[in-house]
Amino acid sequence: MHALSLSINLDLLAENIRNLRQQLDPKSQIIFVVKSDAYGHGIPEIVRRAYAEGVTWFAVAYFEEALQVREAAPHADILVLGPISPEEVPESIEKNITPIVVDPDHAKTLAGIAAQQGKPLRAHIKIDTGMGRMGPLESDDTSDIKAILNTEGLEITGICSHLATVDLKRPWLQEKQHERFVKAYTLAEAISGRRLMRHFCSSRGIQYYPEWDYDGVRPGILLYGYGCNDPRMRVQTKPLLQMHSRVMQVKRVPEGTPIGYYSSYRTTRATQIAIVGTGYADGYLRSLSNRGEALVNGTRVPVVGRISMNWITLDLGPDLDCKAGDEVVLIGAQNENEVWADWLGRRAGTIAYEILTAIHPRIPRSYS
Ligand SMILES: Cc1ncc(COP(=O)(O)O)c(C=O)c1O
Asked whether the predicted pLDDT for residue 354 surpasses 90, the reply is yes
Domains of the chain, by residue range, sit at 10-224, 241-367
Ligand 1: lining residues by beta carbon, under 6 Å: 33, 81, 162, 202-203, 218-222
State how far the Cα of 337 lies from the Cα of 64, in Å rounded to an integer: 39
pLDDT tens digits, residue range 296-351? Answer: 999 999 999 999 999 999 999 999 999 999 999 999 999 999 999 999 999 999 99
Dihedral of CA 197/200/205/209: which sign?
Answer: negative
Neighbours of 147 (CB within 10 A): 15
In sequence order, what E strands does 74-131 have? 77-80, 97-101, 121-127
pLDDT tens digits, residue range 37-89? Answer: 999 999 999 999 999 999 999 999 999 999 999 999 999 999 999 999 999 99
If DSSP codes are grouped into helix, strand and coil, which group holds residue 125? strand
The alpha carbon of 219 and the centre of ligand 1 are apart by a number of angstroms equal to 6
Domain 241-367 annotated CATH 3.40.190.10: no
Q: 140 falls in which pLDDT band (50, 70, 90)?
A: confident
State how far the Cα of 169 lies from the Cα of 345, in Å rounded to an integer: 23
Provide the pLDDT for residue 232: 82
Rg (CA), the chain: 24
Q: Across the chain, what does the average pLDDT equal?
A: 96
Residues 6+ positions from 253 with CB-CB distance below 8 Å: 267, 270, 271, 272, 273
Q: How many Cα atoms occupy the beta-carbon half-sphere of 329 within 13 Å?
A: 20
Q: 124 falls in which pLDDT band (50, 70, 90)?
A: very high
pLDDT tens digits, residue range 193-216? Answer: 999 999 999 999 999 999 999 999
Q: Could you give the percent of the chain with pLDDT greater than 90?
A: 96
121-127 and 154-161: which strand pairing? parallel
The alpha carbon of 233 and the centre of ligand 1 are apart by a number of angstroms equal to 18
State how far the Cα of 336 lies from the Cα of 346, in Å rounded to an integer: 21
Neighbours of 202 (CB within 10 A): 21
Asked whether the predicted pLDDT for residue 2 surpasses 80, the reply is no
CATH class of the domain defined by 10-224: alpha beta
Q: 231 falls in which pLDDT band (50, 70, 90)?
A: confident
Region of 240 (left: φ > 0; alpha: ψ -120 to 50; beta: rest) is alpha
Provide the pLDDT for residue 230: 87
Catalytic residue at 35? yes
Provide the pLDDT for residue 296: 98
Q: 12 falls in which pLDDT band (50, 70, 90)?
A: very high
Give yes or no for a contact between 94 and 63, defined as CB atoms under 8 angstroms apart.
no
97-101 and 77-80: which strand pairing? parallel
State pTM to two decimals: 0.97
Which of 202, 206, 354, 356 is the best mutation target for the ligand 1 pocket, counting ligand atoms within 8 Å of the beta carbon and taking the most?
202
DSSP 8-state code for residue 195: P
Provide the pLDDT for residue 1: 64
State how far the Cα of 42 lies from the Cα of 62, in Å rounded to an integer: 15
